[in-house]
Amino acid sequence: MAKKKQLSKKKPNAADSFDGVYLFKMVLYLLLGSMWLKISSGGDMTFPIPIGLIIGLIFTTHEHFQIDRKIEYAVMLVAMLFGYFAPYGLYINF
C-alpha cells in the first residue's frame, strides 16, 4: 500500500524575518543619512548641517540589536555625501 504524503505548513523562518528587518534598517539609514539642513543668510553663504547623520548616529549607538555597526556607519556616510550634492533637503533662508 502506498502511503499518502502529508502536506506540512511551512513555518516562517526567523532568518527570513531578520533579513527583512535588516533591509528596512539599511533603507532607513540611507534615507536618514542623506538629510541635510542648509541655512542661508542672503547672498551665496550657506551653512549646511548633516542633521540626518547626527540623528542616525544616535539611533545606531542606542540600538538594541547591534549586528554590524560598521556597515551602518558606512551606509550613513555614503548617504550623507550623496545628500550633500543632491538638490533636496530642508532649506532655511533668512
- Residue 38: closest CA among 51, 55, 57: 51
Residue 63 lies in a domain: yes
Q: How many CB atoms lie within 10 A of CB 19?
A: 11
CA-wise closest residue to 92 among 46, 52, 32, 30: 46
- Count of structural domains within the chain: 1
CB 48 within 8 A of CB 37: yes
Tell me whether residue 11 is in a domain.
Answer: no
Q: Considering the domain boundaries, does residue 66 fall inside one?
A: yes
Confirm whether 10 is domain-assigned.
no
Q: Provide the pLDDT for residue 60.
A: 86
How many Å apart are CA 30 and CA 75, to the nearest integer?
Answer: 6
Q: Residue 37: which domain range?
A: 16-93
Check: pTM over 0.95? Answer yes or no.
no
> All 3 cell numbers of residue 62?
542606542
Tell me the per-residue pLDDT of 11-48, one tens digit each, with 9 for 90 and over. 666 555 677 888 888 899 998 888 888 888 777 787 88
